[in-house]
Amino acid sequence: MKERFEEREVGPPVEDGNGGGDGRVAVYEVEGAGCLDCAGEVEEAIADLPGVEEDDFNPVAGRLTVIGEADTEAIRRITKSEGWAVRPQGSRSPNGSVAAAAGAPPAGDTPAREEPRPWWRQTRQVLLALSASLLMLGLVFEWTGLADRLGGGELLARILFGASILVGIYAPARSAYASLKRKRITINTLLVVGSAGALWLGLWEEAASLVVIFSLGEVMEVYATDRARRNLKALMDLAPPSALVVRQGGMEETVPVEAVRTGDLIRIKPGTRIPLDGEVVEGGSAVDEAPITGESMPADKGRGDEVFAGTMNLNGVLTVRVTAASSETTLAQIIRTVEEARAHKSSYENFGERFGAVYTPAMFALAALVAAIPPLLFAQPFEPWFYRALVVLVISCTCGLVLSVPTAALAAISNGARRGLIVKGGAYLEAAARVDTVALDKTGTLSTGQPELTDVVPAEGVVSREELLGLAAAVEAGSEHPIAAAVVRRAQKEGLAVPTSERFSALTGRGAVAEVEGERIFVGSPRLAAEEDIPTGELGAVADLESAGKTAIVVWKSRKILGVLGIQDPLREEAAEAVSLLKKRGVKRVVMLTGDNRRTAEALARQAGIDEVHAELLPDDKIRVVRELQERGHRVAMVGDGINDGPALAQADLGIAMGVRGTDVARETGDIVLMDDDLRRLAEALSLGRRATRTIRQNVFFSVSLVAVLVPTALLGLVGLVPAIAINEGSALVVIANGLRLLRPKPERDSLPIKCW
Residue 564 CB-density burial (10 A; 0-12 exposed, 13-18 middle, 19+ buried): buried
- Contact predicate 735/212, CB 8 Å: no
- Contact predicate 665/619, CB 8 Å: no
- Contact predicate 282/318, CB 8 Å: yes
Going from the C-alpha of 3 to that of each of 64, 345, 424, 571, the distances in angstroms are 16, 16, 14, 37
- Contact predicate 648/635, CB 8 Å: no
Local structure of 570: helix, strand or coil: coil
Alpha-carbon span 203 to 157, nearest angstrom = 12
Percentages (nearest 5) of helix, strand, coil residues in the chain = 50, 20, 30
Alpha-carbon span 308 to 290, nearest angstrom = 11
Alpha-carbon span 475 to 680, nearest angstrom = 37
Alpha-carbon span 524 to 739, nearest angstrom = 53
Strands (E), 623-663: 636-640, 654-658
- Contact predicate 291/238, CB 8 Å: yes
Return the half-sphere exposure (C-beta side, CA atoms, 13 A cut-off) of residue 668: 8
Alpha-carbon span 561 to 553, nearest angstrom = 11
Q: Which amino acid is at 522?
A: F
* Number of residues that make up the chain: 757
Q: State the Cα torsion 140-146-148-151 to the nearest 10°.
A: -120
Please work out, in degrees rounded to the nearest 5, the angle formed at the alpha carbon of residue 444 by the alpha carbons of 453 and 556. 40
Q: Which amino acid is at 292?
A: I
Alpha-carbon span 50 to 53, nearest angstrom = 8
Closest CA to 637 of 676, 585, 602: 585
- Residue by residue, DSSP assigns 505-555 as EEETTTEEEEEETTEEEEEE-HHHHHHTT---TT-HHHHHHHHTT-EEEEE
Sequence-separated (6 or more) residues with CB below 8 Å from residue 661: 444, 449, 641, 677
Strands (E), 149-284: 242-246, 252-256, 265-268, 272-273, 278-283
Residue 263 CB-density burial (10 A; 0-12 exposed, 13-18 middle, 19+ buried): exposed
- Contact predicate 441/617, CB 8 Å: no
- Contact predicate 701/733, CB 8 Å: no
Reading phi first (left if > 0) and then psi (alpha if -120 to 50, else beta), residue 19 is in beta
Which residues does the annotation mark as catalytic?
A: 441
Q: Give the chain's end-to-end CA distance (angstroms, integer).
A: 27
Crossing angle of the two packed helices 36-47 and 72-80, in degrees rounded to 10:
150
Residue 658 CB-density burial (10 A; 0-12 exposed, 13-18 middle, 19+ buried): buried
- What are the two backbone dihedrals, phi and then psi, of residue 650, each rounded to the nearest 5 degrees? -70, -35
Q: Which of the 8 DSSP states describes residue 732? A: H
